[in-house]
Amino acid sequence: MHLKFLVPPALLAIFEVAAVAWTDTWLAPAEWLGLWFFAFAMSWGALSAAAWGYAIWDDWVSQRGRHMFESLYRFSALFILSWIGLFLWWPELHLVAHEIASTRYLLITFLSLVFCASTMALLHIRPQWERVFGWVLFALWVVLLPLMLYRLARGSYALVHLAGLGLLFVALVRVMPKKPYAMKKIGLACAALALVVSTMFSHRLAHAVVDRTRLFFHAKYMMAWARDSEPEGCEILADPQETMEDLVEDVPPPDDTEKARARGVLVVFIDALRADRIGMVYKGHPLTPNLEEFSKNAVHFTSSYTIFPSTIGMIASLGSGRYDAPDGQFFGEHLKKHGVSFDGHWAHEYLQTSLGDAFDGEPLGDPSAENEFETTSDISTDKAIEYLQSNTAERFVYVAHYYDPHEHYVPNDRFDFGPGLEDRYNAEVALVDFELGRLFKHVPDDVAVLVMSDHGDELGEHGFYYHGIRVYDGSTRIVTYLKAPGLKPGDYHEPVSSVDFAPTIAELLGIEFPRAHGISLLDPAQDRRVFVRGIEKAAIVSDEYKVIWNYKSRTMEVYDRKLDPEESKNLADEMIPELCEPG
């Protein structure tokens, strides 16, 4: 075997080791090696199959067929390179929620296709440039590979292997031997290695790779409601968009805006904090003692739901107070129109890009905050305290962003419950709670506090991990507390939604708010139903039940929220007749 056969995977290994060193990843050596060898084996298996097929094709087809194959390879290589490059460096689009995913992907795909078609047409007109093109393409791969691995490693380690596999697949086609017999042996050996390594492959990392890949291919379902299919014999969820319009009416602003309850509102925005962590004692350690102490002087909304289990989706409702997020309706612009300062800090750029141009926030400003493999709760607390102590604005909204409960569940020096997935997640929850204890001591009496999370994270329930796809409580039931001057503390168990946050802030500050689906949590409605969206699924949540409709498979799930909080027993067969009764 020629030595050049081993050069690209060796380079990939070097880049990945460098990425691990730069990011100080928590992966144990055995776990990291298992993950890399799995990706390595799958890469070689795929490459072997491709080269074997190419060799057979080369024997069977004509010169014209070989030329078509090479043209297809070039087009594919160009498309992958340009698509990945645009995806990584494309600026965030300020679009309404239901357009964000589809518009970005369509633009990137369209521009990549235009670039590829133009390049191929140019090579057809100037065939003498093909040799130069080959060297340029190789140089682009060499440059793009380390840049991509470094950038992805700072955001999601699982994506390093997905990127490496894709890049390696395209880059190595030219250096693979083309003898079918040799490729057959290599392909079988690599397939066997992949099978063996897959048994060592951590199940949670496997779920991460599969889930995120699935999320990409299901991007067209993002924020989509209307579907043609409907559950047979039942129209309650036949068309989720129509259902939403039928069951939820616009709530007008109060006729007479009362005097402001607070000079300002501190919005404590906690990323990926599950509602069921509140009050939990884990391995003998209470996870949220400071939030529980805070709740003694606040209202705790125990059945609060995000409209979509992702930061971007949830912020769409935070900015509009609506499920459908009309174009141009940003809460920041509304606040500024009424002379309210809208400041804050973010630990991830998603928050800044989603809140609109009127948000005068800033990044944490610490080098460690640029790396998702570092905890930043202490920096968030310091920033918020500094603002509260120096702020002189007559009226303000300040958003303090806590990112740490979000994946990748980075270990911290203060709490250590073990190396497991839930161990690390709960350690981050405890860390954020500790920092909130510091923050709450510095909140003035005339400042209201809204504590909220944007979504949760699934930790193996229903066989899934993380968030962004499903509508089960692990990722959609969120933490919500409200403390304000004159507001009686206690627990409120009726369903509320993230669409309620903007109207609540407006009433706290004594300003009007445009017509919205959300209502102020200062006077929440009784016997209410709220809505949740996900990939392929939608849900309606009442005080008693949660109804989930999968508009792709045309199946329904019904769960008793009080008797079955784990959502483990589907009551659809016995409950559908009752739910679908007229009236």
- The per-residue pLDDT for range 458-480, each reduced to its tens digit, is 887 877 777 777 899 999 999 99
pLDDT at 248 over 90: no
Q: Predicted confidence band at 230 (pLDDT cuts at 50, 70, 90)?
A: very low
Is 0.75 surpassed by the pTM of this model? Answer: no
Residue for token pair 């003898």: 179
* Contact by Cβ (8 Å): 399, 358: no
> Count of CB atoms within 10 A of residue 573's CB?
9
Per residue in 99-157, pLDDT (tens digit) is 344 456 677 778 888 888 888 888 778 888 877 877 777 677 667 666 655 555 444 44
Higher pLDDT, 216 or 325: 325
What gap in Å lies between CA 549 and CA 533, rounded to an integer?
A: 10
Q: What percent of the chain has pLDDT over 90?
A: 30
What gap in Å lies between CA 240 and CA 534, rounded to an integer?
A: 12
* Contact by Cβ (8 Å): 580, 235: yes
**H runs (alpha helix) in 345-410:** 349-354, 377-390
What gap in Å lies between CA 144 and CA 431, rounded to an integer?
A: 37
Residue 453: helix, strand or coil by DSSP?
Answer: strand
* Contact by Cβ (8 Å): 499, 517: yes
* Contact by Cβ (8 Å): 507, 486: no
Q: Tell me phi and psi for residue 202, to 5 degrees.
A: -55, 130
Domains and their CATH numbers in the chain: 3-201 (no CATH), 258-529 (3.40.720.10)
For range 422-430, the mean pLDDT: 93
What gap in Å lies between CA 317 and CA 502, rounded to an integer?
A: 8
What gap in Å lies between CA 513 and CA 319, rounded to an integer?
A: 11
Q: Which amino acid is at 77?
A: A
User: What's the distance, CA 217 to chain centroid?
Assistant: 14
Show the tokens assigned to 202: 């951590």
Per residue in 262-283, pLDDT (tens digit) is 999 999 999 999 999 999 999 9
Per residue in 303-335, pLDDT (tens digit) is 999 998 888 778 878 877 888 765 545 678 888
Per residue in 37-76, pLDDT (tens digit) is 555 555 555 555 665 666 666 666 555 556 666 677 677 7
The burial of 204, by beta-carbon neighbours within 10 Å (0-12 exposed, 13-18 middle, 19 or more buried), is given as: middle
